Amino acid sequence: MNKGRLEAFSDAVTAIIITIMVLELKVPHDTNFEALRPLVPVFLSYVLSFIYLAIYWNNHHHLFQAVQWVNGHVLWANLHLLFWLSLFPFVTVWAGENLSATVPVACYGFVLFCGAISYFILTRTLIAYHGKDSTLAVALGSDFKGKVSVITYAVAILLAFVAPWLACLLYAAVAILWLIPDRRIEKALTS
């Protein structure tokens, strides 16, 4: 099957997720800067989640530039990823409104963890379909950043039960790790 519909659907879902997230930012009724103070934690969680969605969208785009075709397994693996990304608006607001609370911060991390696992499953499904010697397989290699991310999320989830603010710092650290552009696929495609 051609990959075009999968890419278009994934782009549309990501756009809808971002739209839902921004709609959760409630406009204050007062007109002074003091009215914005209670919104700062929610806004910061929105920024972090937006960055994560941008990273997923960017990497998803690169991923599908390295392959030509998809099959039913790839479609389901992609839907699995989109399911976890679709939970971002919920956990973003919940954690943003309760940054010092254990359960919302741990749930935010759990969604990040499951998103990373589902992305890993998607990459392995694509590699299984295109072969161990495919451009994608060669480009991804051992996927060090992906493995470090999953481990960091797991540690942060546990840490949320001790120090939620420290867990939030780890979530932000993983986002910073991925903000550095991953050029593996681009290099593989141009060589």
| Stated length of the chain | 191
CA atoms of 105 and 157, how far apart (whole Å)? 8
Contact between residue 25 and residue 46 where contact means Cβ atoms under 8 Å apart: yes
CA atoms of 79 and 9, how far apart (whole Å)? 10
Q: What is the pLDDT of residues 46-98, one digit of tens each?
A: 999 999 999 999 999 999 998 989 999 999 999 999 999 999 999 999 999 99
Q: How many domains does the chain have?
A: 1
Which range of residues forms the domain containing residue 157?
4-190
Residue 2: count other Cβ atoms within 10 Å of its Cβ: 9
Q: What is the pLDDT of residues 112-159, one digit of tens each?
A: 999 999 999 999 999 999 999 998 898 888 888 999 999 999 999 999
